[in-house]
Chain A
Amino acid sequence: MTRRSLCLLVAGAVLLAACGGGREALGPPVAAVGPRSVYVAIGSDEELGEGSANALQSSWPQVFFRRTLPGNTVFVNAAAHDATVEAALDVQLPIARQQRPTIVSVVLGAQEELAGDPRPQFTDQLTKLLRSLRAIDKTRVLVGSAVALPSLAPDVRTARKAAYDAAIAKAAAATGAEVVPLGDITATGDQQVGTNGRPDPAFPIDDHESEAVAAAFSKAFGKRSTPTSAR
């Protein structure tokens, strides 16, 4: 009886112990905790991925955040549709201030560029915006240059771009912001695929162009972005 009961007991214990079994492993090492870097993207439709089939994943700030910024970065996309510099001052600057960013990207001016040559207010407001951002915590501000808008007539397009480039460069120079050249990027994104049902973004860029913008900002940030296949 004794041996029989011992056998039964061992079998029972094994059964009971096995019935719910959790695997236990050490798992990855604990990540080091340090001060977080905070990135805020200020901009318009292109920052929201307008023109991409998968705007949430493929917007260029998301790609820049994913590829270039440190692992402990918090990223807030403050961009708004059809945003002008004036609108950004009203809506996006307060969000940025609230987040106390360590780095800010600013890509604005497409709406103004569509409307005409840069007016003095554009430069003033942009300067004010960049200065305000810089003042938060000596924040590093990367400001994108003007782009050639496909919806403009070819003869107007280049001159208009050059005028805005100059205005942006002036504001950047006045505030210590760094200009990121985006001149080679042409907006060819599908204008009918804008997010949230807006079919007419000013600067619709597709996934390929998002990659290019992100790469330009990565380069400016001091770190070359890795090719798509690396992810």
Chain B
Amino acid sequence: MSWRDAFALARRSVYRRLGRAVLTILAVTLAAALLTSLLVLAGAARTRVLNQLSKGGPLAGIQVAAAAPNLGQLDRDSPQPGPPKPLDDVALRRIRALRGVASVIAVEQAPIVVIPPTRIPRALQAVASRKPGTIQTTMIGTELQDASKLPISIISGRLPAPNAQTEVAVTETFLQRYGIGKRDAATVVGMQLEIGSPRKYAFGNVRVRGRWTKQTIVGVVAQQAANGEVLTGASSVEAARSWTAGGEQIGDSIGPDSSPYAGLFVIAAGLDQIGPVRSRITQVGYSTSAPENLINSVQRYLHVIEIVLSGIGVIALVIAGLGITNAMLASVRERRREIGVLKAIGARDRDVRHVFLLEAGLLGLAGGLLGTVGGWGIARTLGSVVNRYLSHQGLVGVQVGMPAVVALGGIVGATVLALLAGTVPAQRAAGLPARQAMGDE
């Protein structure tokens, strides 16, 4: 008997006992839906947690400092860097060419003096516990169109436009100068700062000549791209650096930095490439840091959660599988004469086995398909409930996506489980004596 004929016979059997088939499929559907939705939501939560760990930047991000590696701390996520070492275009090119490197983003920085406005916005006034005078700090600049690849997450407002000359974002450290925290970050957005780049010159004592711009705070960010309270586009920082570099090197408090880049942000081709790429950058001669060990640890914990959730889903599927076994055994009991007749007219044991296995597989496939679609729906519904809550709390929502492997796993898993569940009934059917055709018990 061909598989096609066996399939036709199995399909007819399912239709004949439609009520039982529907109930069996429903059990598989519910189990598959549970498994799928658990995995989808676990995946969404996993992405969210890892995103938080990487501060919004890519997980496979490695920070390269303008310093030599500290050989005693190579295995640490955030080692103390060795002595300063200029990060120039040659180093940038060498690192960019390393195997396993997906992209490299240069981070520049410049020393600045900030004159905060003498009169602060009313909202800030209401929450600020102090008022800063002139601030000496560092301005960080990068190609802001690549900001999504950097460990920068927006707390309030937005990032400066990549080509804007008069927009900056500030960090939480800046907020602390007013004695406020993240919750009140929005109160500084819109405030205008005067930012000056110092240039040293000697006139008896050391003097500083400023190049000033007016900058509007458009956002507050949490960032780990480099040390500094003010973040803006690369061109603004280049102009500031260039002004400062035109001065005289006197002392070491404020002056032209010998390193063209404050640091690099290297994105490895994958999580598994972080370690090898860090080693290669160390060989080039620079200190690196990456949340490699942290992410590995968290991934292990998340993996345990996924195993537990999968376990719950699999238990449900196994229960559904036992339901299939039970339904199929009942079917075998009811169809002893039919099985006997099949054998009497020439069916081999394996033909009978195939028919019953296909019948179980059909139930599993239908349940798996419906369950996967249902699970996707459940996950989306739960996701939207969670997102409503999060948005009510002023937090960014989770992205509920259905990975192809989960969808495929739901369908194939349910089908395979049903086939396994159908093995015993199919074997029992195949082993029934042909004599059953005579109607004897």
> Which residues of A come within 8 Å of B, CB atoms?
1-2, 5-6, 9-10, 12-14, 16-28, 30-31, 33, 36, 54, 56-57, 62, 65-66, 71-78, 80-81, 95, 98, 196-197, 229, 231
The answer to whether A22 and B163 touch (CB under 8 A), given A2-B316, A28-B189, A80-B203, is: no
Closest to A56 in B: B134
In the bound complex, do residue A21 and residue B396 qualify as a contact, i.e. CB atoms below 8 Å apart? yes
The answer to whether A27 and B164 touch (CB under 8 A), given A12-B45, A77-B212, is: no
In the bound complex, do residue B212 and residue A65 qualify as a contact, i.e. CB atoms below 8 Å apart? yes
Interface size on B, residues (CB 8 A): 73
Complexed CA–CA distance, A9 and B315 (Å): 16
**Chain A proximity of B241: nearest CB distance (Å):** 14
In the bound complex, do residue B194 and residue A14 qualify as a contact, i.e. CB atoms below 8 Å apart? no
**Chain A proximity of B382: nearest CB distance (Å):** 6
Complexed CA–CA distance, A1 and B133 (Å): 60
Complexed CA–CA distance, A17 and B389 (Å): 10
> Which residues of B come within 8 Å of A, CB atoms?
30, 34, 37-38, 41-42, 44-45, 48-49, 51-52, 56, 113, 115, 117-119, 133-134, 153-158, 161, 163-167, 182, 185-186, 189-190, 192, 194, 196, 203-205, 207, 209-214, 216, 218-219, 222, 243, 246, 305, 309, 312, 315-316, 382-383, 385-386, 389-390, 393-398
Complexed CA–CA distance, A18 and B52 (Å): 10
Chain B residues in 8 Å Cβ range of A2: 30, 34, 316
Chain A residues in 8 Å Cβ range of B309: 5, 9
Can you give 12 contacting A-B residue pairs, CB < 8 Å? A1-B315, A9-B41, A10-B382, A13-B44, A13-B383, A13-B398, A16-B48, A17-B390, A21-B396, A23-B185, A62-B115, A75-B211
With contacts A19-B49, A80-B207 known, what are 11 further pairs, Cβ within 8 A?
A1-B315, A9-B42, A17-B386, A17-B395, A28-B190, A30-B161, A33-B161, A57-B115, A73-B214, A74-B212, A231-B119
In the bound complex, do residue B203 and residue A28 qualify as a contact, i.e. CB atoms below 8 Å apart? no
Chain B residues in 8 Å Cβ range of A9: 38, 41-42, 309, 382
Complexed CA–CA distance, A71 and B168 (Å): 13
Q: Which 7 A-B pairs have the closest CB atoms?
A: A20-B52, A27-B158, A21-B395, A27-B157, A75-B212, A16-B45, A30-B161
Complexed CA–CA distance, A229 and B117 (Å): 12
In the bound complex, do residue B153 and residue A30 qualify as a contact, i.e. CB atoms below 8 Å apart? no
